[in-house]
């Protein structure tokens, strides 16, 4: 009916004129019949007595006038209604309406304060920028363009139904508020496409900061199903957006920190290694600065962005569209919280388009002891090297007591064992436990003479970068007896003769293994300084690189963080946001956030849990930029299948007006003939 009233508004002068003429005709009384009577005075008495003048003339005439006025109004409304009326006539002369879904990201990241491009307006929410962009879309709307405003977070919801009224749409846009939830772009896009795809001239305008989504964006793009989508990126990711870039599908210039790990040393738990994986989305090799920052109470990127927080820096050259590992060794882990930031090097012609993924965060975990099962007759050098590490809990078992056949039945035999070391033990190694094996005897499956012990030649390190032998040199070690090993597929040689056989290798086929074809009693290796380093590296690698790393939380997903103790109230310190009460079940904290940084929960009793976050694997701004079909504002083929009521208002109005006119005519005829 709003359209009807719009049309009637245009017809108002005509309607007013018609009503004026009607009133004038009633004043002039053109249709009142005159009847000659013989005795007017007698009729005057009749009128005075019956008050026929009052009831009959005034009110009935007024009601008659009102009745006709209603009839004319109904006819005018019918004329203005679709599809027979002027409105329909006007619509037939115009192209079918456009249907545009305004899909607005209202996830938590939209509440982020960004500076405007020139810095003149100061910080403001990304959602403010989104509103500004949306207003521009609405203000530039084509005639008869209808909008549906959908607020997208974890679950999309309709902010305003279909409407052509700009004021209503703008009011709905102004009413958008950022939520604490994440964004499910796939679900939101599917809902928007469902709402628009069967309507004439559909399109979807997505306003987002390109922040993380619960599902990979590539999957979200599959939900578009051919509907033209226009992407409006707000926030830092939008700085480089140009129409050319918007139309292209190439990867954009972007550097990102994919993952950060903080690992304390077995030798010195107060120090450790901070490792990171740095990605270059650019189509060519790029020199990138990798900054390591530490802050005792740091949570958000701005806490680590202070110059005094930067503790180390590296410059690496990353091949095109590749990821490299960067490690900061011998880092003091006392601050506990670390952030790695990647920036283009000063000499790099590089414009990072998505600063939101430039940060990675890590937390130093309190290292637990690594359980080592040492099986052998006893080797002084090996045991001395193991004792050099406080972080090792060594359990010694003689070869006679070692019964691997019992492991599958009795799990308790291997309880607390992270690594098994078999020194000259003939028995099989445990199936699912990392094993470091020293064995000079030939392998049972080897051909006769193939792996027979022999004198060693010149030794070289086969895989210097392997964590087990990193920063070690075995060149000057003396080996009396060695055994050449057959290198399995996928194994990395750690020690080999120059131009000769492999003497030690590392293999990782789900369970890590180190095979050394030596006997520590046949070499001076055990007495050298690097033996404890070798043991530390080897046990760390066998126990797993991630063993001492706090697992990061993926932003946008639901989190369940295990609690050491239950029954306490926990306060959640979310990066960049004030603290608030955390939701806790009996044994876990339940949360979800899109805030990148380090999330901290503290209990009433003073316990503290810190978890870093990481972006979803599919969150790459270059892929966000992979647009759907090009948006064409004036398609040639379109149809208007706007749902209509089975009985449009005009049919009811026409029926009412016709019935009213027939009734009035009948009454008039009755007055004339009865």
Partner 1 sequence: MADPATSTSGKGGVSGIREDLFDATFLRRIEHLALLARRMASSGQRAARRSKKIGGGIEFADHRDYAPGDDLRHLDWKVYGRTERMLLRQYEEEEDLSVYFLLDRSPSMAMAPPGELSLFDRALQITAALGYIALSNLDRVALAPMTDGKARPERPVRGRAQLFRILRVLSSLEPGGQTAIRDSIRDFCRYKPRRGLVVLISDLYDPDGLGDGLRELAARGYEPMVVQLCDERIFQASVFGDLTLVDVETGERQEIWLTPEVVATYREVWDELSAQVESAAREVGARALRVDLALPFDEVVMKVFRSGGFLG
Is 66 a binder of partner 1 (CB under 8 A)? no
Is 53 a binder of partner 1 (CB under 8 A)? yes
Sign of torsion over alpha carbons 411, 415, 417, 420: negative
Is 57 a binder of partner 1 (CB under 8 A)? yes
Q: Give yes or no for a contact between 419 and 392, defined as CB atoms under 8 angstroms apart.
A: no
Is 38 a binder of partner 1 (CB under 8 A)? yes
What would the two tokens of residue 632 be?
A: 């064409």
Q: Which residue blocks in 175-306 are alpha helix, DSSP H?
A: 185-196, 217-222, 243-247, 301-304
Q: CB-wise, 53 or 569, nearer to partner 1?
A: 53
User: Residues with Cβ < 8 Å from 96, sequence gap 6 or more?
Assistant: 144, 200, 201, 638, 639, 640
Alpha carbon distance 608, 233 (integer Å)? 37
Which of these ranges, 51-59, 79-87, 230-238, 290-298, lies near partner 1 under the rule CB under 8 A?
A: 51-59
Inter-CA distances, 379 with 8, 303, 374, 639, Å:
102, 50, 10, 86
Is 44 a binder of partner 1 (CB under 8 A)? yes
Q: CB-wise, 55 or 663, nearer to partner 1?
A: 55
Least spacing, CB of residue 33 vs partner 1, in Å: 5
Is 41 a binder of partner 1 (CB under 8 A)? yes
Is 42 a binder of partner 1 (CB under 8 A)? yes
Q: CB-wise, 54 or 225, nearer to partner 1?
A: 54
User: Left, alpha or beta for 449 (phi > 0: left; psi -120 to 50: alpha)?
Assistant: left
Alpha carbon distance 101, 513 (integer Å)? 56
Q: CB-wise, 66 or 334, nearer to partner 1?
A: 66
Which of these ranges, 29-37, 141-149, 197-205, 455-463, lies near partner 1 under the rule CB under 8 A?
A: 29-37
Q: What angle do CA 371, 374, 380 make, to 5 degrees?
A: 120
Q: Which of 27, 28, 30, 34 binds partner 1 (CB under 8 A)?
A: 34
Q: Which of 10, 21, 25, 46 binds partner 1 (CB under 8 A)?
A: 46
Is 22 a binder of partner 1 (CB under 8 A)? no
Q: Which of 27, 445, 637, 674 binds partner 1 (CB under 8 A)?
A: 674
Which of these ranges, 42-50, 426-434, 463-471, 563-571, lies near partner 1 under the rule CB under 8 A?
A: 42-50
Q: Which of 20, 23, 29, 161 binds partner 1 (CB under 8 A)?
A: 29
Contact characters 654-673, partner 1, x per CB under 8 A: -------------xx-xxxx
Least spacing, CB of residue 659 vs partner 1, in Å: 20
Q: CB-wise, 630 or 667, nearer to partner 1?
A: 667
Q: Which helix (H) or strand (E) holds 42?
A: helix 40-50
Q: Which of 10, 16, 25, 60 binds partner 1 (CB under 8 A)?
A: 60
Q: How many CA atoms lie within 13 A of 262 on its CB side?
A: 30
Compute how many other C-beta atoms are within 10 angstroms of the C-beta atom of residue 655. 13
Calculate the CA 224 to chain-centre distance. 17
Q: CB-wise, 53 or 395, nearer to partner 1?
A: 53
Is 33 a binder of partner 1 (CB under 8 A)? yes
Q: Give yes or no for a contact between 194 and 149, defined as CB atoms under 8 angstroms apart.
A: no
Q: CB-wise, 26 or 656, nearer to partner 1?
A: 26
Nearest to 621, CA basis, from 181, 103, 106, 239:
239
Q: Give yes or no for a contact between 466 and 506, defined as CB atoms under 8 angstroms apart.
A: yes
Least spacing, CB of residue 200 vs partner 1, in Å: 53
Q: CB-wise, 51 or 308, nearer to partner 1?
A: 51
Is 630 a binder of partner 1 (CB under 8 A)? no
Alpha carbon distance 370, 264 (integer Å)? 12
Q: Which residue blocks in 97-253 are alpha helix, DSSP H?
A: 126-139, 166-174, 185-196, 217-222, 243-247
Q: Which of 52, 387, 447, 560 binds partner 1 (CB under 8 A)?
A: 52
Alpha carbon distance 633, 345 (integer Å)? 42
Q: CB-wise, 31 or 366, nearer to partner 1?
A: 31
Binding residues for partner 1, how many (CB under 8 A)? 35
Alpha carbon distance 158, 218 (integer Å)? 24
Q: Which of 50, 89, 121, 662 binds partner 1 (CB under 8 A)?
A: 50
Binding site for partner 1 (CB under 8 A): 29, 31-47, 49-50, 52-53, 55-57, 60-61, 64, 667-668, 670-674
């Amino acid at each position: 009916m709003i359209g009807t009233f719009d049309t009637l508004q245009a017809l108002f002068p005509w309607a007013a004129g018609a009503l004026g003429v009607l009133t004038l005709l009633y004043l002039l009384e053109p249709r009142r019949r005159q009847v000659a009577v013989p005795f007017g005075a007698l009729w005057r008495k009749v009128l005075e007595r019956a008050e026929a003048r009052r009831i009959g003339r005034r009110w009935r005439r007024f009601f008659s006038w009102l009745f006709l006025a209603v009839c004319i109004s109904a006819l005018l409304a019918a004329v203005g209604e679709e599809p027979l009326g002027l409105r329909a006539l006007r619509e037939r002369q115009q192209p079918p309406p456009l249907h545009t879904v305004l899909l607005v990201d209202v996830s938590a990241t939209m509440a982020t304060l960004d500076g405007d491009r020139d810095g003149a307006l100061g910080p403001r929410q990304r959602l403010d920028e989104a509103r500004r962009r949306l207003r521009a879309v609405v203000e530039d709307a084509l005639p008869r363009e209808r909008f549906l405003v959908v607020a997208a977070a974890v679950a999309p919801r309709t902010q305003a139904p279909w409407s052509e009224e700009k004021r209503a749409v703008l009011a709905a846009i102004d009413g958008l508020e950022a939520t604490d939830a994440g964004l499910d772009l796939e679900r939101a896009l599917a809902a928007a496409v469902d709402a628009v795809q069967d309507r004439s001239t559909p399109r979807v305008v997505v306003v987002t900061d390109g922040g993380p989504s619960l599902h990979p964006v590539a999957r979200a793009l599959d939900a578009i199903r051919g509907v033209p989508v226009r992407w409006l990126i707000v926030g830092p990711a939008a700085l480089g957006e140009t129409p050319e870039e918007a139309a292209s599908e190439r990867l954009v210039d972007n550097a990102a920190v994919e993952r950060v790990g903080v690992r304390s040393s077995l030798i010195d738990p107060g120090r450790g290694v901070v490792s990171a994986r740095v990605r270059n989305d650019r189509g060519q090799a790029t020199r990138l600065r990798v900054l390591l920052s530490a802050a005792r109470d740091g949570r958000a990127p701005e806490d680590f962005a202070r110059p005094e927080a930067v503790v180390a820096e590296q410059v690496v050259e990353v091949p095109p569209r590749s990821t490299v590992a960067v490690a900061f060794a011998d880092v003091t882990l006392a601050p506990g919280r670390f952030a790695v930031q990647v920036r283009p090097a000063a000499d790099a012609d590089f414009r990072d388009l998505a600063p939101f993924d430039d940060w990675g965060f890590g937390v130093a975990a309190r290292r637990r002891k690594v359980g080592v099962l040492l099986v052998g007759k006893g080797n002084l050098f090996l045991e001395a090297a193991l004792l050099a590490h406080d972080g090792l809990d060594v359990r010694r078992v003689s070869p006679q007591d070692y019964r691997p056949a019992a492991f599958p039945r009795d799990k308790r035999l291997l309880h607390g064992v992270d690594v098994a070391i078999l020194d000259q033990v003939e028995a099989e190694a445990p199936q699912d436990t990392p094993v470091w094996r020293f064995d000079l005897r030939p392998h049972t499956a080897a051909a006769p003479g193939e792996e027979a012990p022999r004198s060693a030649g010149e030794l070289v390190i086969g895989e210097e970068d392997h964590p087990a032998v990193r920063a070690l040199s075995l060149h000057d070690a003396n080996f009396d007896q060695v055994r050449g090993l057959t290198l399995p597929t996928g194994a990395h040689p750690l020690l080999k003769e120059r131009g000769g056989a492999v003497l030690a290798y590392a293999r990782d086929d789900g369970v890590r293994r180190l095979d050394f074809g030596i006997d520590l009693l046949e070499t001076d290796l055990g007495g050298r300084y690097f033996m404890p380093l070798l043991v530390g590296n080897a046990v760390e690698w066998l126990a797993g690189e991630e063993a001492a790393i706090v697992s990061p939380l993926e932003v946008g997903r639901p989190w369940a963080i295990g609690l050491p103790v239950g029954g306490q109230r926990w306060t959640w310190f979310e990066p960049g946001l004030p603290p608030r009460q955390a939701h806790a079940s009996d044994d876990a904290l339940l949360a979800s956030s899109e805030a990148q940084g380090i999330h901290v929960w503290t209990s009433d009793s003073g316990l503290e849990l810190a978890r870093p976050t990481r972006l979803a694997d599919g969150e790459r701004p270059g892929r966000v930029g992979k647009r759907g079909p090009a948006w064409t504002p004036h398609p040639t083929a379109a149809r208007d299948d706007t749902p209509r009521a089975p009985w449009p208002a005009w049919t009811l109005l026409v029926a009412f007006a016709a019935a009213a006119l027939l009734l009035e005519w009948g009454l008039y005829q009755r007055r004339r003939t009865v």
